[in-house]
Amino acid sequence: EYCNFAELMVSVDRDEGTATVTFARPKSLNALCESMMTELNRAFKMLDADDSVRAIVLTGDNVSFAAGADIKEMAKQTYPEALRVNFLAHWTDAFKISKPVIAAVRGHALGGGCEVAMMCDIIYASTDARFAQPEVRLGTIPGAGGTQRLVRAVGKSRAMELCLTGDVLTANEACSLGLVSKVFQPDEVLGAAQKLARKIASQSAPVVKLIKEAVNASQEMSLEAGLAYERRLFHSTFSLDDQKEGMAAFIEKRPAKFTNQ
């Protein structure tokens, strides 16, 4: 069922509870055309519904995570058509899933590529990763979160500077700004992201879901409302077998065996 994609590869490790989704348009440096993003949407919805998958890695190839929206496809876009189809809205929709998504970024993460990396829950980068919002140089503006998520990730002054110039952030700069959580050698980043996915997949599935929901809610609400929301979700965990098991295991000095109930 996961073979039915033309511009993506999806591999699932059911024993480990992880999946890896790989952009596969190397000739255009993984430019994000409409058909590939439609496939990403479908793949993520399938993985979200698959109980054997608990965490997802999204990656590209050695040269490029993604070099942005497909400029050749987009060049002829018109305003009425963009309005009619709500152009790019389905990119964000693809990421409205409950399971954590880790970006493993090598090479270019430019424009829409940087924006898609920022839609992921965690970004791991290799030393050769490069992040930028070069839309200003194309006579347009970021359209999939560059002016919004980048501000939240690195602060207003730096985000403004990056969006107004298209200048490139190295992996180490992106890491020191908090855009990226860790930097690895190029041949290690995908393995590190998959190891992180396995670690997340070994936790209680409902608890992982609640944590992702709570952290993402912090981006949308005031501190007071967020704290109240978090506390209610925290309270709800006391209805889970996994909370009983996790705390009993701690007291009995043994590893917890979560049943995802």
Active site residues: 69, 112, 115, 135
75/251 with CB nearer ligand CAA:
75
Q: Is 134 in the site for ligand CAA (CB under 6 A)?
A: yes
Bridge partners, 184 (sequence order):
126
Tell me: does residue 138 bind ligand CAA (CB under 6 A): yes
Tokens of residue 226, six digits: 């967020």
- Tokens representing residue 130 in the block: 């490069």
Q: How far is the CB of 85 from ligand CAA (least distance, A)?
A: 14
* Residue 108 β-bridge partners: 64, 130
162 near ligand CAA, judged by CB under 6 A:
no
Closest CA to 114 of 97, 98, 129, 99: 129
Least separation in angstroms between CB 72 and ligand CAA: 5
Structure-block tokens of residue 181: 């959580």
Contact flags string 104-133 toward ligand CAA, x per CB under 6 A: ----x-xxx--x------------------
* Among 53-61, 135-143, 171-179, 242-250, the segment contacting ligand CAA (CB under 6 A): 135-143
Smallest distance, ligand CAA to C-beta of residue 140, A: 6
| Direct distance between the N- and C-terminal alpha carbons of the chain, in angstroms, rounded to an integer | 27
At 150, the amino acid letter reads L
Rounded to whole angstroms, how far apart are CA atoms 261 and 258? 8
Per CB under 6 A, which region of 27-35, 153-161, 172-180, 199-207 contacts ligand CAA?
Answer: 27-35
- Of 164-203, which residues contact ligand CAA (CB under 6 A)? none
Which two tokens mark 236?
A: 């709800």
Would you count residue 142 as binding ligand CAA (CB under 6 A)? yes
| Sign of the C-alpha dihedral computed for residues 142, 148, 151 and 154 taken in this order | negative
Give the interface segment with ligand CAA, choosing from 43-51, 69-77, 172-180, 196-204 (CB under 6 A): 69-77
Nearest to 159 by CA among 169, 18, 220, 95: 169
How far from 148 is each of 49, 122, 133, 157, 165, CA to CA, in Å?
A: 29, 17, 12, 13, 16
In whole angstroms, the minimum distance from the beta carbon of 181 to ligand CAA comes to 23
- Interface segment toward ligand CAA; rule CB under 6 A; list 139-147, 183-191, 234-242, 250-258: 139-147
What would the 3-class secondary structure string for 92-134 be?
Answer: HHHCCCCCCEEEEECCEEECHHHHHHHHCCEEEEECCCEEECH
Nearer to ligand CAA, 30 or 204 (CB): 30
Does position 135 bind ligand CAA by CB under 6 A?
Answer: yes
Residues forming the site for ligand CAA (CB under 6 A): 28-29, 31, 67-72, 88, 108, 110-112, 115, 134-135, 138, 142-144, 146
